[in-house]
Amino acid sequence: MSAESKGLAVVTGASTGIGAVYADRLARRGYDLLLVARSADRLSAVAERLHADTGRSVKTFVADLANAAEVRKLAELIEADKDFALLVNNAGIALAGTLASAEVEEVERIIAVNISAPTVLARAATRALQKRGSGAIISIASVLALAPDRFESVYSATKAYILSLGMGLAQDLQETDVRVQVVLPGATRTEIWERSGRDVNAFPPDWVMEVDHLVDAAFVGFDAGETVTIPPLAEEDDWNSMQAARQAMIPKLSRREVASRYRVTA
């Protein structure tokens, strides 16, 4: 492996699951790493293994992304690092229960981790990469962004936000060499299920993807230049048809006159 680095990749939620596999794949692609998570011990173990396996520089940043001050500190590091080249906005949590049954602190936390933190970090990454002239922002959403009626509503809504943010940011940056990709996993075998009090084994076995397969598929989409990558979706035309229908509806969404079906009759 060449000793020359492709730059610094920052991966949130990197101590386990999807984030840890992204870290592995990025190190093997030649990136130096800054790994972010709450667990110092687990983060250090991943960093030591990756450095030993790949020879890349692997540093850690212990942070709770529900803490706005810690998120801002990480954002400042990203924006100030001249070698920064890629962000993986992966860290996320699910709600234990529903909007009605969860404690308000739980609701505030999921919004902070799943929406506020990735937005602030994407802002910092965008500013840094525009100065650099190239790079990438990868964000992990969920297929539930497209199916909010199939799971807990708050989690699904946070992932719809990530999808919308990524698609909008890709539009903002389309005239630059900064890449934006949003990855929509289906059910994936990670710790998020156990942490939210759910059993991933309760799903039909053919619904649950292994983490390695998910991340490797996401990189195929990334290398192909996709803005939205849905690893479980077999037919690209299904996504293209949905997007075409959405685009066709857009010119009809803002009018001076109320649509006839909503008009009040005497």
Closest CA to 19 of 113, 96, 152: 113
Helix (H, G, I), strand (E, B) or coil at 225: coil
188 Cβ contact list (under 8 Å, min separation 6): 17, 18, 208, 209, 210, 211, 214
Alpha carbon 90 to its chain centroid, in Å, reads 4
* CA-based radius of gyration for the chain: 20
DSSP string, 122-155: HHHHHHHHHHHT-EEEEEE--GGGS-GGGS-HHH
The reply to whether 155 belongs to the active site is yes
What's the token pair of residue 266?
């005497």
Q: Which residue is catalytic, options 22, 31, 155, 161?
A: 155
Where is 237: in which H helix or E strand?
helix 236-249
What's the token pair of residue 8?
């610094």
Q: Which residues participate in catalysis according to the annotation? A: 155
